[in-house]
Chains A and B, each alone.
Chain A
Amino acid sequence: MLKLNIKNKISKIKIILFCIVLYLLLQVLLSTGIINSYWQQIICYAGIMTISALGLNLIYGFTGQFSLGHAAFFGIGAYTSAFVIKIAHLNNTFYLILGLIAAGILAGLIAYVIGLPILRLRSDYLGIATLGFGIIIKVIFDNADAILPVLGGSRGMIGIPKLTNFTWVFVLAILGIVILRNLINSAPGRALISVREDEIAAEAVGVNTTKYKTLGFVIGSVYAGVAGGLYAHLYAFLHPSNFDFLKSIDVLLIVVLGGMASISGTIFAAVIWVFILEGLRVVLPEAILDWRLVIYPLLLILIMIFRPSGIFGSREIKFLAYHEEKTK
């Protein structure tokens, strides 16, 4: 037992050291200008997509609730944070935390209100209901300027302070990973997984399935909301089309490509996905740049045909793995 503990501690320290080194390395490269501001934005975007996809992985991968409306919560977070920061004139990067808290709370609250009724539906029907919810939210964004002119409606929202930097994204992504890992390894986490495995059996052994489905949905949506807040202050411009059906699909692709219920897979796939989409832009010559969006779906189909359970399957790298307690 003692030996295991020490081993765990050492691996924990290793991981913490790895994170610090990675952060310092990237920060040095960024501040010396070796990585230019264009790529800095892409690195930040990869981090944001990671956070958002972790949320969907909790909803779909771990809890088994099929959601096609993740971008709606991402958008709610983005507009909320942008609104709070812009209205209160909080033009300091430290105040970003207030915007993000507001974003997370509102996204979670709306997820709770909408989740309670629709989480009764199963698999494809739930997917369609969340898809419908996503489209309704997008229409609301499109017409939001009728009530709050500052949101800009279909013209887009401009003049959002640029507060997101690499440090914010990195710290929040790490925090998101650690929280999700600990949640999954806790008693409520096991309840979430039991709902995915067999809802009827879970109910029979006394798991309150409604409660845990809603819990997973709300926490996952909070992740999306926070990620949306970071997104709003990274690009400083929001348009309703940034949160349409196709964006929900993007997040779903990341989760499935990485491997359902694999935290490491989601991180890996989110980063790779952002870099492949942007990388093809750089690698491909000008003349066949249009082919970027043709190659990408082909890759997708091929990966699904040859590795239908995603790149990682449900495997994890060691630190993120589920630790079964050894009993004598």
Chain B
Amino acid sequence: MSSFLQQVINGLQLGSVYALIALGYTLVYGIIRLINFAHGDVFMVGAYLGFYAILRFHMPFPIALLFAMAGAGLLGIIIEKLAYRPLRNAPKIACLITALGVSLFLENFSSLKFVFGPNYLAYPRPFPVVNFNIGNVTISNIQIIVFCVAIVLMVILQLFVSKTKTGMAMRAVSFDKSTAQLMGINIDYIISITFGIGSALAGAGGVLYGIAYPQINPFMGIMPGLKAFVAAVLGGIGIIPGAMLGAGIMGMVEVLTSAYISSAMRDAIAFLVLLIVLLVKPAGLLGKSSIEKV
């Protein structure tokens, strides 16, 4: 039982990182219906920014986290301006292919020697690891930090989207783009903001991933990116609490599978859960299925 509880805690840790990435996917998909494949690589860039902030500039952890978030957010806004905005009225598949292109570009450009380099790097721990024993369960301060930062960011996001004027505009654009425009909402600005917020969250996710699983390389974003996207779909894409729920489930499934079945089957089981959910409830766990009208 205690080992099960231990695995649940590990699952929550992984799930919180997935949730931060999944939120970006869900926000962007909700607004422009684009699977932003480059999002996983923004997460990677965030991890590297945190890495340099801690190791080279000796920033304290909270500042490094903010630095990575700002950098990643800026990157997201730039990507949207240069790559996606010219394609606003192009067929959907052209945007998707562009997103893949941006993803490949970020991965391979980062692997160049004068950028981040192709090798695995050990992530610096900004503070010593302390383990707390509660009964038979061990919780490290890293796990507590990952969990708390993720929760705080998600609460801030939820408040931002539900209480502020910009958040209301975001919801309006996601509901109906052209009507929102008629109501005087500057769509381009809202899309930029959305990309910025989503990418900043991914950047934070990158730093947390780095301190929790201390090894990074330029291709580290692919799998977490895909899984976070799956998490967003699992919970119902475009729905913020859905992304958190989906990410929690993905993290749990992954950790419990490696603990009790086989770590080799980890990815297979995670995606099997996705297939089953899609077949039973195609709009995701919290999604409402809409009736198609002719």
* A interface residue numbers (CB < 8 A to B): 117-118, 120-121, 124-125, 127-129, 131-133, 135-136, 139-140, 142-143, 200-201, 245, 249, 252-253, 256-257, 260, 290-291, 293-294, 296-298, 300-301, 304-305, 308-309
Contact = CB atoms under 8 A, between A and B. Distances in A.
B271 A135 contact: yes
A294 B275 CA distance: 34
Contact of B275 (A118, A143, A256, A298): A118
B275 A297 contact: no
B94 A139 contact: no
Task: Pick from A143, A296, A301 the residue with the most CB of B within 10 Å.
Answer: A301
Contacts of B83: 301, 305
Contacts of B279: 117-118, 120-121, 129
Contacts of A129: 274-275, 278-279
Nearest to A117: B279
B202 to A, nearest CB: 19
B80 to A, nearest CB: 13
A105 to B, nearest CB: 24
A128 B225 CA distance: 13
Nearest to A124: B35
Contact of A245 (B95, B226, B278): B226
A246 to B, nearest CB: 8
A260 B104 contact: no
B134 to A, nearest CB: 35
B258 to A, nearest CB: 13
Given A131-B226, A308-B91, A253 B98 contact: no
25 contacts: A118-B275, A118-B279, A120-B279, A121-B282, A129-B274, A129-B278, A132-B271, A132-B272, A133-B275, A136-B275, A200-B294, A201-B294, A290-B111, A294-B108, A294-B109, A297-B102, A300-B100, A301-B101, A304-B90, A304-B97, A305-B83, A305-B98, A308-B87, A308-B91, A309-B91
A117 B274 CA distance: 14
Task: Pick from A143, A260, A308 the residue with the most CB of B within 10 Å.
Answer: A308
Task: Pick from B226, B271, B279 the residue with the most CB of A within 10 Å.
Answer: B271
Contacts of A132: 230, 271-272, 274-275
Task: Pick from B100, B103, B233 the residue with the most CB of A within 10 Å.
Answer: B100
Contacts of B35: 124, 127
B292 A200 contact: yes
A143 B86 CA distance: 44
Please report whether the interface of chain A is mostly helix, strand, loop or mixed according to DSSP: helix
B229 interface: yes
Task: Pick from B97, B105, B230 the residue with the most CB of A within 10 Å.
Answer: B97
Contacts of A301: 83, 98, 101-102, 105
B87 A304 contact: yes
Interface string B20-34: 000000000000010
Given A128-B230, A301-B101, A304-B87, 19 more contacts: A118-B275, A121-B279, A125-B233, A125-B278, A135-B267, A253-B97, A256-B93, A290-B112, A290-B113, A291-B112, A294-B108, A298-B101, A300-B100, A301-B83, A301-B102, A304-B90, A304-B95, A308-B90, A309-B94
Given A128-B233, A133-B275, A305-B86, A297 B91 contact: no
Given A128-B230, A294-B108, A300 B275 contact: no
Please report whether the interface of chain B is mostly helix, strand, loop or mixed according to DSSP: helix
Contacts of B105: 294, 297-298, 301
B63 interface: no
B265 interface: yes
Contact of B101 (A128, A142, A297, A308): A297
A298 B229 CA distance: 24
A139 B274 contact: no
B98 A128 contact: no
Nearest to A257: B97
Nearest to A66: B93
B183 interface: no
B229 A143 contact: no
Contacts of B95: 304
Contacts of B230: 128, 132
B129 interface: no
Contacts of A253: 97, 100
Given A127-B35, A304-B87, A143 B265 contact: yes
Contacts of B55: none
Contacts of B93: 256, 260
Contacts of B275: 118, 129, 132-133, 136
Contacts of B130: none
A125 B237 CA distance: 10
B268 interface: yes
A142 B267 CA distance: 11
B1 interface: no
Nearest to A146: B264
